[in-house]
Amino acid sequence: MDNDEGDMNSALMVDGNAVAGQLEQIFGRDMTMTVARCAGCARDAEMGALLAFIRGPGVVLRCPACQNAIARIVETPTAIYLEARGAAYLRMVPQE
Amino acid sequence: MQPVLEWQAGTVTAIRPETKQTKSFTFALPKWMAHRPGQHYDVRLTAPDGYRTERSYSIASPPERVGELDLTVELIPDGEVSPYLHDVLMLGDQLELRGPIGGYFVWDVAIGGPLLLVGGGSGVVPLMAMLRHRAAQHATLPARLLCSSRTADDVIYRDELDGLARGDPAFEVFYTFTREPPAGWTGYRRRIDGAMLGEVIKPFGKRARVYVCGPTLLVEAVANALVQMELPIEQIRTERFGPTGA
């Protein structure tokens, strides 16, 4: 499929899989199967299936149902900021 | 607990052109670990002034190949990382890699089938890892690949895919060409749509497990069509490449 249709913002969108390495660095485990509940519409989605906008200075993860911003991640030279007030919760299943 | 993800220096042991725009790079890794087909590695470049940039590339090789892995990379002419990989990186060079990464867009024979893979452009790369794994395991579960490319010259792994299909009655490959079909082509010659998906998925019906990887707009179109067919949403896994690949 060609890419010459749709607006620029949606064309630049990827998904949570694209930031799986960054998330794993922060949480110390794979997060793509972790379920995030949207604080806006209460829909559950695996973090790998969240809409991801990664071409800015930081990362924005959005709900695939209502586009609410679930989380934002910004890395500075000295720290990582993770803001996640768009998530009601994250559900992590213990790993072996 | 799984080990902490860390950067390691992979050594380039092979470089193979796949199409005009794609090359496969084989890396030997000191801390290789078996991946799940569909996972990716992050690649990090550091400039002399300390500027760093990272990209994710899907693993093309199966986990059965121990100690090394293949990444197939599409050249993005104005990209930051892929031109370096295509035009500068040489045999014996080292590159910083971390992985394997991801648990969502993964498939192995334990998950089972019937398996429908839908790839657009270089979106076929992680699907190839799944097919190579399936072949290495001598699995007989039914599998089909629907592969969308602009022209015949843009199909990655064409010879290998055709060979797999010839030697395995349970695997079929379908091509569609969106820009210029080869002369005499009688198959699909349009973007993937609901009618095409319906034909390819037909023998599997609603039992199909579907993996879709490609440009965002292709993934959206395919996922929406599958939902309209009332395929259970938990059987659909998608990976969006963005406009031009990672």
Provide the domain count of chain A: 1
Residue A8 has pLDDT above 80, yes or no: no
| B154 within some domain | yes
* Full domain range(s) for residue B59: 8-101
Which residues, 6 or more positions from A77, have their beta carbon under 8 angstroms from its beta carbon? none
The complex's ipTM works out to 0.80
Q: Residue A12 is nearest to which of B2, B220, B243, comparing CB atoms?
A: B243
Q: Both tokens of residue B169? A: 């009655």
Peptide bond into A64 cis (omega under 30): no
B66 near B93, Cβ under 8 Å? no
* B17 and B86 within one domain: yes
* B235 and B138 within one domain: yes
Cβ separation of B40 and A20 shorter than 8 Å? yes
Burial of B224 from C-beta contacts in 10 A (0-12 / 13-18 / 19+): exposed
Q: Express each pLDDT in A23-73 by its tens digit.
A: 999 999 999 999 999 999 999 999 999 999 988 889 999 999 999 999 999
**For position A6, what pLDDT does the model report?**
52
B98 near B5, Cβ under 8 Å? yes
Residue B2 has pLDDT above 90, yes or no: no
* B230 and B164 within one domain: yes
* B95 and B120 within one domain: no
| B24 within some domain | yes
| B3 within some domain | no
| B165 within some domain | yes
3-state DSSP call for residue B223?
Answer: helix
> What is the distance in angstroms between the Cα of B176 and the nearest Cα belonging to chain A?
10
Give the global pTM.
0.91
Residue A8 phi, psi dihedral angles, 5° rounding:
-60, -40
| A57 within some domain | yes
Question: Does residue A67 belong to the interface with chain B, where contact is any CB pair within 8 Å?
Answer: no
User: Within B88-240, where are the H helices?
Assistant: 124-136, 158-167, 194-201, 216-228
CATH number at residue B121: 3.40.50.80
Q: Looking at residues B210-227, what average pLDDT do you find?
A: 94
Query: Which of B137, B17, B1, B147 lies closest to B70 in space, CA to CA?
Result: B17
* Full domain range(s) for residue A47: 11-90
Provide the domain count of chain B: 2
Q: Among all residues of chain A, which has the CA nearest to that of B51?
A: A77
